[in-house]
């Protein structure tokens, strides 16, 4: 899965949880990128089931829960960006474990410029966005959306 065209990023995947996941997916939509990824059974989020995530972002429901969707999203991407104020959360630990087991590149809490450079350096075509849920890190969805849009804007100059 490589872009190979100087404009590598074409798709953003995530699990659909409130916070970082939805912020990344929303940024990708606004930037005109493909979106998708694996969501837990019933499209479960901290706000309850959200089946509309399938229509809005193209998420696919896993037969299992959060653990299965996390591993599948790491596995189906070229690299992962983690936006977390709390790297010791269960979700962040699971994501980092999956990254280590699968040997995928990752970056934690980058600026927009750092993320753009990471995408270029690793020729990332499919980026997994992970991180804290909104209740654990209030405002993280908006922060992630802003940083992702900044990174995509910097990459636009590569076209």
58-71 pLDDT per residue, tens:
999 999 889 999 99
Instruction: Map tokens 């996390």 to a residue.
Output: 70
- pLDDT range class, residue 156, cuts 50, 70, 90: confident
Domain assignment present for 90: yes
Q: Determine the pLDDT at residue 3.
A: 40
Q: How many domains does the chain have?
A: 1
Query: How is residue 39 written in tokens?
Result: 């969501």
Contacts of 121 (CB under 8 A, 6+ apart): none
Domain assignment present for 41: yes
Specify the pTM. Answer: 0.94
Domain assignment present for 103: yes
Closest Cα to residue 2, out of 129, 127, 151? Answer: 127
Give the H/E segment covering residue 22: helix 20-31
Backbone dihedral angles phi then psi of residue 101, each to the nearest 5 degrees: -65, -35
Domain assignment present for 60: yes
Per-residue pLDDT reduced to its tens digit, 84-104: 999 999 999 999 999 999 999
Per-residue pLDDT reduced to its tens digit, 108-119: 999 999 999 999
Domain assignment present for 128: yes
Domain that holds residue 93: 11-156
**Strand 44-45 with 48-49, pairing:** antiparallel
- pLDDT range class, residue 1, cuts 50, 70, 90: very low
Angle at the Cα of 1 from the Cα atoms of 40 and 70, rounded to 5 degrees: 20
Domain assignment present for 2: no
Residue 7: pLDDT above 90?
no
Query: How is residue 49 written in tokens?
Result: 């089931």
Q: Domain containing 79 — which CATH number?
A: 3.40.50.450
For residue 120, with 0-12 CB atoms within 10 Å meaning exposed, 13-18 middle and 19 or more buried, which class applies? middle
- pLDDT range class, residue 8, cuts 50, 70, 90: confident
Query: How is residue 52 written in tokens?
Result: 């509309």
Domain assignment present for 31: yes
């Amino acid at each position: 899965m490589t872009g190979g065209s100087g404009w590598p990023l074409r798709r953003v995947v995530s699990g659909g949880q409130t916070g970082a996941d939805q912020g990344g997916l929303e940024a990708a939509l606004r930037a005109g990128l493909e979106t998708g990824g694996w969501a837990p059974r019933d499209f479960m989020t901290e706000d309850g089931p959200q089946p509309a995530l399938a229509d809005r972002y193209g998420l696919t429901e896993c037969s299992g829960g959060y653990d299965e969707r996390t591993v599948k999203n790491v596995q189906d991407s070229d690299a992962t960006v983690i936006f977390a104020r709390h790297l010791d959360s269960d979700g962040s630990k699971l994501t980092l474990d999956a990254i280590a087991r699968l040997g995928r590149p990752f970056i934690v809490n980058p600026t927009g410029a750092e993320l753009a450079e990471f995408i270029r350096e690793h020729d990332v075509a499919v980026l997994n966005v992970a991180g804290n849920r909104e209740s654990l890190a209030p405002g993280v969805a908006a922060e992630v959306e802003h940083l992702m849009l900044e990174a995509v804007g910097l990459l636009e100059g590569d076209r």
